[in-house]
Amino acid sequence: MSATLERGLNALREQIDAPVASFFSSCVSCGLCAEACIFYRATEDPKYTPIKKLDLMRRVWSREFTLLGRIGGMLGLTKAVTDDDLKEWETLVYDSCTMCGRCTMVCPVGNDLTMMIRKMREGMSAAGHAPVELIGAAERHNDLGSPMGELHPALHAQVKHASEETGIAIDFDKPGVDYMVILSAQEIAEFPDVLGAMAKIFKKAGVTWTISNDAFEATNVGIQLGNRDVARTLVQRVVDAAEKLGVKGVISPECGHAYQALRWEGPNLIGRPYNFEVIHIIELLDKLRADGKLKTKGKNGQKLTFHDPCQINRRGGINDEPRRLMNMVTENFVETDDAGTMNWCCGGGGGVGANERAEDLRNAAFKLKKNQLDKVQPDAIVTMCAYCHHTLDNVLEEFNMEQEVLGLTELVAEYLDDDA
């Protein structure tokens, strides 16, 4: 057995705890998880059944952690997991699962299939069977501060532009303010208007904030890759910066996995609770609305719909907040079928969007989202995740669809009441 295979199998073994054992023991092979998966529904290929993607971990569990499995192994009746198995399963685990959580929602016995995929990726990554794009992004993030590489110059340029455009100073490394804002690389590179939008909203609401030069990147490639060491390092980087500045809270940006990694997995990764609050930008905007500090004037007259990012809504619980904000600034807001918690994924999350080889499968999976949009025929789609925004832009162009995609923070800022 090669050293990398052994390392990968050991990583899988480390993930097999009591919840994992109970998941595998309780699975009744009902197939409901398949019907909930965008990749199965788009292709009807049985290999894309979510529980099937976990088959290698189940084999390790059965062969090494159950009595019958051990006996079967000794008698040669059950096969050990090989390097070829891991190689074959790589595309299933990384290309056909966005970790959207829809399968978890429908499991009749409550199995968290999404977290199981997350655990499965730990073994795949340790064995060297992970997409080169994610491996490279993790290395850049760890060494240079962002999955896109050195983004300090770009960030400072975008902040300078936003300050000049709004006339509002945006400070770096300012201690004692209310919030430290982190941004996804996608926002810095593609959607920097969010900086000016936040500046205007926070100025009006009396919120003080800053950006840390030490930890401005929100994305956590360690979660997507399946490498707890990288994920822990990236979370710790944000925690250290927030504690150094003495802020009351950290604002997670319009980015799904960034929110999931920092808010929900982060304390477990670093082994202790934070001494500050983690709040998603849309949660904060809704709180400001409820406190009477966010007032708007006028409304967008277009027919708008809302795309719920999986990690923020389904996995993170932010469902009503964006709708309350949408109703503040839109006069023709229409919901799609299955909107909210059971919304269909954009198809690019969980690192899938970074994998070039997955493009055809992503486009096939988008047909379910397209069906939702075709039924309501919106003029534009609003979302609260920069990577959903990026993915939707690309697939809408691929399918020759005319809708534009808007960020919710920017939409709210556009209708701020300057006289309030």
pLDDT digits (tens, 9 = 90+) for 370-417: 999 999 999 999 999 999 999 999 999 999 998 999 999 999 999 999
**Amino acid identity for residue 291 in this structure:** D
Q: What is the pLDDT of residue 257?
A: 82
SS (H, E, C) 321-337: HHHHHHHHHECCECCCC
Q: What is the pLDDT of residue 1?
A: 62
Q: Looking at the predicted structure, is the pLDDT value of residue 132 above 90?
A: yes
Q: State mean pLDDT over 84-103.
A: 94
Give CA–CA dist 420/417, Å, rounded: 6
Question: CB under 8 Å to 111, separation ≥6 — which residues?
Answer: 23, 26, 27, 104
Q: How many residues does the chain have?
A: 420
Q: State mean pLDDT over 299-306.
A: 96
Q: What is the edge-to-edge ordering of all strands in the sheet holding 277-280?
A: 209-210, 179-181, 249-252, 277-280
Expressed in percent and rounded to 5, the helix, strand and coil fractions of the chain are 60, 10, 35
Q: What is the pLDDT of residue 419?
A: 78
- Contact in structure between 383 and 306 (CB atoms under 8 Å): yes
Q: In the numeric block, which tokens belong to residue 310?
A: 């999986």
Q: State mean pLDDT over 255-282.
A: 93
Give CA–CA dist 126/235, Å, rounded: 20
Tell me the pLDDT band of 261, cut-offs 50, 70 and 90.
very high
Question: What domains does the chain contain, in order, with CATH numbers?
Answer: 3-130 (1.10.1060), 150-290 (3.40.50.1860), 304-414 (3.40.50)
Q: What is the pLDDT of residue 80?
A: 86
Q: State mean pLDDT over 349-353.
A: 91
What percentage of the chain reaches a pLDDT higher than 70? 100
- Contact in structure between 256 and 263 (CB atoms under 8 Å): no
Q: Looking at the predicted structure, is the pLDDT value of residue 5 above 90?
A: no
Nearest alpha carbon to residue 29 among 43, 42, 13, 46: 46
DSSP 366-413: HHHHHHHHHHH--SEEEES-HHHHHHHHHHHHHTT---EEEEHHHHHH
Q: What is the pLDDT of residues 13-72, one digit of tens each?
A: 888 888 888 989 998 889 899 999 999 999 999 999 999 999 999 999 998 888 887 888
Q: What is the pLDDT of residue 313?
A: 93
Cα→Cα distances 310→185, 213, 284, 315, 372, Å: 19, 29, 19, 6, 15
Pairing of strands 404-407, 380-383: parallel
Q: Which helix (H) or strand (E) holds 210?
A: strand 209-210
- Scanning 210-358, the segments in alpha helix (DSSP H) are 221-225, 228-245, 256-259, 266-270, 281-290, 320-329
**Amino acid identity for residue 237 in this structure:** R
